[in-house]
A and B are shown apart, each in its own frame.
Chain A
Amino acid sequence: MRSDSRSARIQVLVAAQAARRGARVGVVDVCTAAVAALPVGGAGLSAMSRTAASHPLCSTDDISEQLEELQLTLGEGPCVDAFLHGSAVLAPDLLTGELQDRWTVFADAALDAGARAVFALPLQMGAISPGVLDLYADVPTVLDAEELADALAFADLATLLLLDARIEETGAPSHRPSPDRGFEDLGAYRAEIDQATGILTVQLGVGIEEAFIRLRAHAYTQGRRLADVAADVVAHRLRFSPHAEPDQADEGT
């Protein structure tokens, strides 16, 4: 990744929020950094799934918290649409007729809560879609091209942080990269990472999200670049097995 890239700049903003909290980088830092960088009043993030219950993870203020809960309870709203369609949903003014018709209950409830504009950015990496980042403003607001690109970059970083948290839940490797090391292993895009993730769904008999988590966990424990591990998987130099310990080196390494 180029150091002057948008992703790198967004990472620095998020890391600064974590430093202020005196904690490791988490999705809450993405929310606070997004609010500081964009013309929005608040941000919230929900974990979403097609097969399990969705739940709010964090929010920067009461209005954001209400927006997350409203959408998950009602089953409608920008965040629900963003998740289902896998694309950003931008609602610059909830008072417009079109948006009132689209979300008959949510639109008024959100206005009552104090939101006027809502932007929902899906967290996704192909078929991996662990949640949605919601931003709101209390006045009609249009994000310009630069702001939207930043918002999408915040969502991408949130995706990785959410999946990283899952690596820790599985108890796999203890030494994940420190926040300052960031995500340099994900710098340049490599098709092999996605192909290897698909391959692991078969080798491990798991879903696509779990496959990606296991791939990254392996790279962490071996102290190798994700792209290199992925290239080994694609070239059949490295095989994963469902029976091996997750943090154990596989044959061929």
Chain B
Amino acid sequence: MNQKLLAKTFVELADNLVADFDLIDFLRLLTDRCVAMLGADAAGVLLADRDGELRVMAASDEQVRLLELFQLQSDEGPCLECFRSGAPLIVADLTREVGRWPRFVTAAHRSGFGAVQALPMRLRDEVVGALNLFRAAPGPFDPAGTLIAQALADVATISLLQQRSSHRSTILNEQLQTALNSRVLIEQAKGKLAERRGIDMEQAFTALRGYAHAHNRRLSDLARAFIDESEPLPGLGS
């Protein structure tokens, strides 16, 4: 574990949380840092909606196949079990779990993943979601890394409570709803930009996020303006 990178990451995450940050943008940063620091090959944050269904909020790559792998876990897989039990779940060798999660293991294998861990996003006595890490090579996870992953899952939970809300809602339900709706907004904007430019979903996400950063905008505000065409956005072709 690179101590400097670890310290730098937590400073960076904390810095982002105090400013007027965008939740989806922040969670993407968090998943990117999971990959960089913890030797993971992919990371994702899943949140439960009102029906207790897990939904992807952010992923270290927005490609459709990876999002599907996360999303599949609303039905079966380590994230769902972690979410239900509230305890971390570590699978060093996915091939041994075919009987437990047939669809999930098959899909993970197809995407080239051999090991996975899921860390609960806990808020007081409630579990609101999970942080999911994938690694290509099977084998045990470094226990120190798992502790850091849990700390990052806790940061993700805090960010959810910190998101800007027009009326400073302290009601978890409502905060979750706002977060999930932001994600829908991002997906709609990704689709529009991908089609307009003939690029894939990850490229579309990166372009929207880059534009938001360059123009000092919150990603979800930009996504809405882009969809509504409520203002000219040179560089996004509108």
Contact = CB atoms under 8 A, between A and B. Distances in A.
B74 to A, nearest CB: 6
Q: How extensive is the interface on chain B, given as a class?
A: 35 or more
A190 to B, nearest CB: 7
Given A145-B171, A148-B173, A50 B230 contact: yes
Interface stretch (A18-26, A40-48, A86-94): A86-94
Contacts of B194: 195, 198-199
Taking chain B's interface residues, is the majority helix, strand, or loop, or is none over half, making it mixed? helix
A145 B166 contact: no
Interface in B107-141: none
Interface residues of A, number: 42
Interface in A209-239: 234
A84 B75 CA distance: 35
Interface of B: 49-53, 55-56, 64, 67, 71, 74-75, 165-167, 169, 171-174, 177-178, 181, 184-196, 201, 223-224, 227-228, 230
B93 to A, nearest CB: 28
A88 B169 contact: yes
A80 B231 CA distance: 22
B51 A208 contact: no
Nearest to A2: B51
A198 B172 CA distance: 29
A197 B189 CA distance: 9
25 contacts: A81-B167, A84-B166, A86-B178, A87-B167, A88-B174, A90-B169, A90-B171, A126-B184, A127-B189, A145-B173, A148-B171, A149-B173, A153-B50, A191-B56, A194-B188, A195-B64, A195-B187, A195-B194, A198-B187, A198-B191, A199-B194, A200-B191, A201-B191, A201-B195, A234-B191
